[in-house]
């Protein structure tokens, strides 16, 4: 398995976002706009968008159902930003569902725009 290198650069982050926006292009336009703000309402399709984005960004591994907490820390530290509080909660294994990944990450995403 190819491990992604951290920190991720802005182009890699944009690529992950654009790839998922393409994959979810049939979502209502109002929702697509919210995701780009970023605003992530608690809807089933948003749950799966977040799973897509974290997977393509390399912070979530669908095979192990775990988050790369060390990679996320490196991402923040590389920008001179302290890692977010609550990050350690991502060390547990997820259920692998879109909703579970959303619930595990949405507060961190809202409080800390990924650099």
Half-sphere exposure for 33 (CA within 13 Å, toward CB): 3
Helix (H, G, I), strand (E, B) or coil at 15: helix
Average the pLDDT over 53-62 and give the result.
Answer: 94
All domains of the chain in start order, with CATH: 10-111 (1.10.238.20)
Q: What is the pLDDT of residues 69-93, one digit of tens each?
A: 999 999 889 989 899 888 999 999 9
Give me the long-range contacts of 56-59 (CB less than 8 A, separation at least 24).
56/15, 56/16, 56/19, 56/20, 57/8, 57/12, 57/13, 57/16, 57/114, 58/4, 58/6, 58/8, 58/16
Tell me the pTM: 0.89
**End-to-end Cα distance, the chain:** 25
Closest alpha carbon to 36 in 15, 56, 18, 12: 18
pLDDT of residue 86: 86
Q: How confident is the model at residue 2 (pLDDT cuts 50, 70, 90)?
A: very low
Q: Is the predicted pLDDT of residue 1 greater than 60, yes or no? A: no
pLDDT of residue 4: 67
Half-sphere exposure for 40 (CA within 13 Å, toward CB): 23
Residue with tokens 């608690």: 42
């Amino acid at each position: 398995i190819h491990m992604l290198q951290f920190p991720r650069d802005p182009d890699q982050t944009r690529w992950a976002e654009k790839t998922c926006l393409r994959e979810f292009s049939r979502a209502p336009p109002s929702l697509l706009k919210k995701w780009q703000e970023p605003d992530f309402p608690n809807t089933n399709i948003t749950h799966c968008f977040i799973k897509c984005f974290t997977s393509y960004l390399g912070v979530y591994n669908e095979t192990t159902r775990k988050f790369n907490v060390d990679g996320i820390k490196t991402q923040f530290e590389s920008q001179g930003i302290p890692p977010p509080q609550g990050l350690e909660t991502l060390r547990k294994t997820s259920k692998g569902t879109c909703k579970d990944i959303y619930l595990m990450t949405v507060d961190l995403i809202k409080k800390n725009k990924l650099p």
